[in-house]
Every structure is written in C-alpha cells, then in structure tokens.
Chains A and B, each alone.
Chain A
Amino acid sequence: MSKIEEAMDLVRSAPVQTALRQRARTRSVADTTPSRLGAELAHMAQPREWTAAERAAAGILDFHAPAAAGTDAFRQLRVAVAERVERRNPLIGVTGVVRGAGASFISRNLAAAFALDRGRSALLIDCDRADTSNSKLVLAERKGHAAKGLCDYLFDESLDEAAIIQASGWPRLRVIPTGGMAPDSGEIFTAPRLQTLFEALQRRYADRTVILDMPPVGEVADARILAQLCDGLLLIVPYAQVDADTVDAAIERIGPDRLIGTVFNQDPVGSW
C-alpha cells in the first residue's frame, strides 16, 4: 500500500483535522503545526469548481467518472512516482524528449491526480515559455485577466510567491502560470530568485507536490537549468516521434541519477 493510498484511507476513516494532526506529529518539518494546517485547508477553500465542459476544455481527464479513458494510467503513474521520491514535498520536473511529447498534458493530469488526495495539494508551475497551455488552467486567466506568473516574479522583486500562485478550477490544484514575457528571456531561470522561490514553495504547505511543466530536454537550454533545481525528472517519450538514440541522448542530458522514470505517451496498445 502506497503512502497516498494510506493517506486516503486515513482521510476516509477519520475527520480531516484529526488525520492531519496525527500525520503532523510524525513530521520533521518544524514550522508546520496542526493549527496552521487547519488554517491552510481553510485558506485553500475552492473558489469555484470547473464544470465538466470547462474541465474538458482545460485538458484534464474526467477522474471522477469510473473507468474514464487514461485516468487509471495517471493514478498508477502517481503511485509509481510517489514510491520513488523520498522527499516529502517533492519538486518533480516533467519534460519531453522532443516538443510535442505531451509533457504539458501529462504534467497537468499528474498534478490533478496528486490533488485527488484530499489530504494533499498539488502545485503546477508552467516553465515552458513556448507552450503556455497550462497557464490557461488559472481561473482568472480564463476570464481574460492576465494573472501574474513565474516570469513576473523573477523580474519584479516586489512580488511575493503568494501573488503568483493562482487557483484553478480543480480542487487542491494551484498553478503558477508562465506570466508576462520578458523582453529578452534568455537565461531567466539562472536567477537565484528562482531557487529561493522553489524552496519557499516547498516549505509553504505540508503535503504539496510541486510539478514543473518543463520545455523539452533535448531542445531548450531552460530544461537543463531547471533540471538542476528539481528533485527528480519524468521523461516523456512520445509515440512515433523519436528513435532509441534520441531517447538515450535525452537521458544522458538529464543524468540517470536525476531521472525518476520514463513515461511512454500515446501508447496505442493501452488505448482500447
């Protein structure tokens, strides 16, 4: 039984407060107290949930429907990832071998799967400046307001992390969008402020999984810089786009020690 399933059992069997308190006792993180956890959950009250059409438009699978296509695969993937990451609030990078591998799709659905757990939350950071599809998960964004995002944070020192963490229409899923584009966005991820941000985010909530939607590892330098900051990386291998050598080269770039695992996307055999 995985930690997540264990946690889910706990949630089902006891009041949330009690369960979280029990788990909090086992933690080593100093600044998380039971009272604060309760406050967090209250603070994280869902502003508004997506309708089924909005969810589908946002590109998140129907996890609530029984045996909906692909949901089982994401649930299993969530369990497998959780098993392999030692750290409590892990920072998991999701990158494709090439563009179009489906890293954005997998990162947001994996985040959604993590957020299914009522005792956990998930934060999806859209680091792929070329494909900002995950930034559209922000509720405000969808209404036409430009929500502040990662790039704003990196260039505007007056912003704090709370200002860029945006709510989504999926319960317990928060999103940091890419934000306004920098004029010359060459090496923005080398800024030390990014590392500070990541550390703060990991400390901010207990039981939060942070997932980075990264640009493809083989094509953009950003991916390699971000990979250094992640606890581990998921490498997405797309269907019928790359050969074995390209995959090996991608693993070589990431470094096998940082690789959590590979995920084969658009698998024809599992689809029916």
Chain B
Amino acid sequence: MNLEDTRVAGRICVTEIRRNVGWLIAGGLVIVIIAVSVGAAWPARYQSSVSIYVERQNIIDPLMAGRAVRTEVADTARNAQERVYNRSLMLAALERADRMPAERDSLAEEHALMRVRARTSVRTIGDNLIRITYEDGTAEDAFNMTKLLAELFMADLMGTQERESTAAFAFIDAQARKYQTELQEARERIQAMREVDPSARPGVFDELNRRQVTLTGQIDDLEQSLREARIREASLQEQLSGEVEIATMNTRAQRYRKRISELRDELDRLRLTYHDSYPDIVHIRQQIADLEQQLNSEEALSSEEGGRIDDAVRSDPVYQKLQRELYDVRTEMRMQQDRLNASREQLAETRAELLRTHGTQAEIERLQRDVQINQDIYEDLLRRRENARVSRSLDEEQQGLKVRVQESAYMPQTAIGPSGRDIALAGLGLALILPAATLVGWLVVDPRIRHGSHMPPLARQYQLGAIPALPRRRHGLFAAQLLTIGVLAAVLALLLAHFLGYFDLTLLALWFETLSLPGVLSR
C-alpha cells in the first residue's frame, strides 16, 4: 500500500466517522452504561490464605536412622489438595462456619460444596509448604473459612499419620504372632516324631553312615589279608613239593626216565642223518623199549606204595619247617574268613538300617527347614515390630510429623481482582475505541465504492473527475441520533448519580409506580 492509498484510506475512515458520529456516540454510551451497570453489580472478592508447614526432618531421624520408617511427608503434601477438597472435610468446614443451607437436602449440600471448592485453591510450595487460599464476598467470611479449612486439614493430617503408624504396628504384630505359632508347631512336630521313632533321633543317621564306612574298610582290609594268606599258602605248598622232588630225584624211575630221554635225544639226532633201519637207530630203539619196560615196572611198584612219601623226605628238617608254616597260614586264613563273614553280615545289617532311617530323616529335614525359615522370618518380624512400635510411639507423641502454621490466615483489607470502578473505566475506554474499531472493520469488509480509485477498470478508464463531498444542509446529527444520544446520556447520568450516591434509583422506580397505579386502577 503506497502513501496515496494510505491517505485515501485515512480520509475515508475520518469521513465515515464523521458521517456516523451520532451512532458512534450512541454505541459508546450503550457500552458505558453496560460497563457502569456491570461495575456496580460486580461482586467484591476478598481472599485470605494460610500456609502450613509440613516438616519432614527432625531430631529423631538421625537417632533412629534405619530403625523407624517414617511415613513420607512429600506424599502428604502432594495429596493435600485431595485432603482439602475431601467431601467430609468441606462439609465439616461448612457446618462449623454455619453456612450450611437451611434445608438440608443433598442437592443443596452439593451446591454449597461446589461453591466452596470453586473458591478454594490448594498449592504445594516446595516439599513442605502447603498454601490454602480461599476467597469470598466479605473479608470476614474469607478469613473465617480459610482458618477453618486450615485447622481441619491439619487435624486430618495428624490423625491420618497416627492411624497409619498404628495400623502398621498392628499388622506387623499380627504377622509376628502368626509366625511364632507356626514355628512352635513345627518344633513340636519334630519332637513328637523323635519320640515315636528312635531312628529319628539326631545323630543316628550319621552314626550308621560312620559304621557303614568303618565296616566297608574292615572288609576291604580282611579281603586283602585273605588274598595275601592264600598266596603264602600256595607258595608254601610249592616249596614243600619242591623239597619232595629233590628228595626223590635219585630214585630208579627217575634214572630210567633220564636215560630214556637221553636215548630219545640220541635217536632224534641219528634219524636226522639215517634211516630207521640204521643199526644204531634200531639199537637205541631197543634200549628205549627196554628202559620203558623197566620204568613201567618201577612205576607200578611205586604206585603200589601209594604216594607215600618216603621217610627220608619226612625226616627232612626243611620239609618239617615248611609244613609247620603251612599249618599256621591255613589257621590264619580260616580266622580271617570268619571275621570277613561277620563284617559282611554287619554291613548288610547297617545298610538295611540306613535305608529304613532314610525316609524318617527326609521328613525330619523338611520339618527342620520349615523351622529354620519360620525362625528367620520370625526374627525379622520381631525386629520390624520393634521399629513399628517406635514409629507408633513417635507419631503418638506427635514427633514424627511436624505440622505447624507457617503463615496464619489474615483478614483481607482490600478486595482482589478488578473492582467495579476498574470495569467502569475499562468500559469507558472500550466505548471510545470499540465503535470506531467496529466501523473501521466494517469499512474493510464492505465492498461498496468509497473512492474513484476503487471503481472497476472500465469506469476508472472513463473517469472524468470527482466531485468533492460538500457540506450538506442537514449536516451533523440526525434527529433520531440526537434523541437516542439524549436518552442514553440521561440514563448514564442517572446511573452515575445513583452509584455516586447523589440519587437513589429505587426512588425513581417508586415514582413510576405511583404514576402507573392510578392508570391501572381507573382501567
């Protein structure tokens, strides 16, 4: 938009304002009247607030560190709003402020509640500070209600705190008692079992195990000794038979056999070189046959004697010594065999015993485990119970949660928010601006031609000139505008006079009544 266009727009605006000055004034007056009326009827609002300090730390904490668990105050602060808006608290406050509706139906109660809730605001400042703000039509009401709300809120907070810790103690206490009973029962069950079943006695199982190990060891040792004794026996017997052989080495039969053997060796050697018909071979064969015959007769003779050991052998001292040792070994072997058998029997018994004990033992172990677990939990609960007891004591003595009024409720001296005067003044400003602004806005959207340059292209092309607007005879305000403005000004004057205290509008209303009554009666 260039300068010329701006000039044109400005002139058009001024022209339109001049043309419509009457209506602008009338519109402005209407706005002022509305604003003054609203301002006069505007309710004053008084606000009071109270700050409550909810303390989290105190001297007890370091002393009781890790022992007593304190209820989280931060949570308390966080749900302060819920507490204050709580129905029962609000109702109690209404009751005590004597502001309950006369007829006590639930709808009226609900409305009263809603009103109080709408006027109350709860804000948490930091972790510890809770601010309750309340506003009302009069300073007294605002002050009283704020005070009441704060008192009820604090009482509620303390009560809850105590209730919480008492409930916690009661719960833990009950738990501890329950576990104590269970522990007792488990112990009694074990006791009863042991009385009934000797194998359930403590240590039996271990002893049996030990015995089994000992017996197994013994058996192993005995078996080893037995094997050694057998080897010794065999060795002695060999030695004995060796001694007999030596003693009987030079008997005839032996000699025959030796000769036969030599001859056979010779025969084998000759047969490598010669035929069987060779005279030496034939000769040797005859010798062997003779010798074998002699041997046979000799053996037949000796078998008649029946294995009888020669007296010569018997009388041999070495033979006798060996014979004694052999007896000893055999005696020892028999003894060991007896002991081995006895041990084996014992082992078998022990094993049978163990098997039998096994079932009982598992049952006992289960019971003992139960006892152990119960014991642990019970001890833990005992500790906790003591903690809870201390916490409860703290709360009972109001040591746990420190709630105090940081800033008490005050009697508000001035109303908050816009006052009636502010609204009336704002209306005055609006009366100056709004009608003209509306007009300018209307000019922007109105498509009608207000300048030669706004004409359509063809008309512009043919434009010969422009005749300036000339002052008209009936310039200024129309009669209708004048009348409207006059009436509005009168109303405004009456209103202002009323609100400034020079005149009472109710008098005017009374006057109108006296005027209209006779007319009504005569009709």
Contacts and interface: CB of A to CB of B under 8 A. Distances in A.
Q: Is chain B found bound to chain A in the same assembly? A: yes
B272 interface: no
B447 interface: yes
Interface stretch (A131-139, A158-166, A263-271): A263-271
A264 B467 CA distance: 6
B12 interface: yes
A69 interface: yes
Given A268-B450, A269-B7, A263 B458 contact: no
B383 interface: no
B450 A240 contact: yes
A262 B455 contact: yes
A267 B471 contact: no
Contacts of A272: 11, 468
Interface string B1-22: 0000001100110111000000
B465 A268 contact: no
B301 interface: no
A247 B467 contact: no
A248 B464 contact: no
Contacts of B465: 73, 76-77, 80, 261, 263-264
B308 interface: no
B486 to A, nearest CB: 27
Nearest to B443: A240
Interface string A124-136: 0000000000000
A191 B447 CA distance: 40
Interface string B451-466: 1101110111011111
Given A69-B468, A69-B471, A267 B451 contact: yes
Given A73-B468, A267-B468, A268-B12, A261 B463 contact: yes
A266 B449 contact: no
A47 interface: no
A239 B463 contact: no
B469 A242 contact: no
B470 interface: yes
B450 A239 contact: yes
A225 interface: no
Of B16, B447, B448, B468, the most chain A CB neighbours within 10 A belong to: B468
A136 B456 CA distance: 35
A87 B302 CA distance: 197
B462 A267 contact: no
Contacts of A73: 465-468
A264 B455 contact: yes
Contacts of B15: 268, 271
B441 to A, nearest CB: 15
A116 interface: no
Given A73-B467, A247-B459, A262-B464, A267 B452 contact: yes
A263 B467 contact: yes
B449 A242 contact: yes
B449 A244 contact: yes
A271 B459 contact: no
Nearest to B8: A269
A201 interface: no
Given A262-B459, A264-B455, A268-B12, A243 B449 contact: yes
A106 B467 contact: yes
Contact of A270 (B447, B454, B455, B466): B466
Interface in A244-263: 244-245, 247-248, 251, 256, 259-263
A241 interface: yes
A47 B470 CA distance: 29
Contacts of B447: 243-244
A237 B455 contact: yes
Contact of A70 (B451, B463, B470): B470
A271 to B, nearest CB: 4
Contact of A77 (B16, B464, B470): B464
Contacts of A269: 7-8, 11-12, 451, 466, 468
B442 to A, nearest CB: 11
A74 interface: yes
A266 B448 contact: no
Contacts of B451: 264, 267-269
A81 interface: yes
Given A237-B455, A240-B449, A263 B466 contact: yes
Contact of A260 (B452, B460, B464, B468): B464
Contacts of B469: 239, 266-268, 270-271
Contacts of A169: none
B475 to A, nearest CB: 12
Contact of B462 (A77, A243, A261, A271): A261
A261 B464 contact: yes
A218 to B, nearest CB: 13
Contacts of A84: 464
A173 interface: no
Contacts of B11: 268-269, 272
A235 interface: yes
A264 B452 contact: yes
Nearest to A83: B464
Interface string A21-35: 000000000000000
A74 B471 CA distance: 16
A237 B464 contact: no
A212 interface: no
A261 B103 CA distance: 83
Nearest to B19: A240
Contacts of B446: 240
Nearest to A81: B464
A102 interface: yes
Interface of B: 7-8, 11-12, 14-16, 446-452, 454-456, 458-460, 462-471
**For the complex of A and B, 8 pairs with smallest distance between CB atoms:** A261-B464, A270-B468, A268-B15, A267-B466, A264-B452, A271-B468, A266-B469, A244-B456
5 contacts: A244-B449, A256-B462, A261-B464, A262-B462, A268-B450
Given A239-B450, A266-B469, A267-B452, 13 more contacts: A70-B467, A77-B465, A240-B446, A242-B449, A244-B447, A247-B455, A248-B458, A251-B462, A260-B462, A264-B451, A264-B467, A268-B451, A270-B469
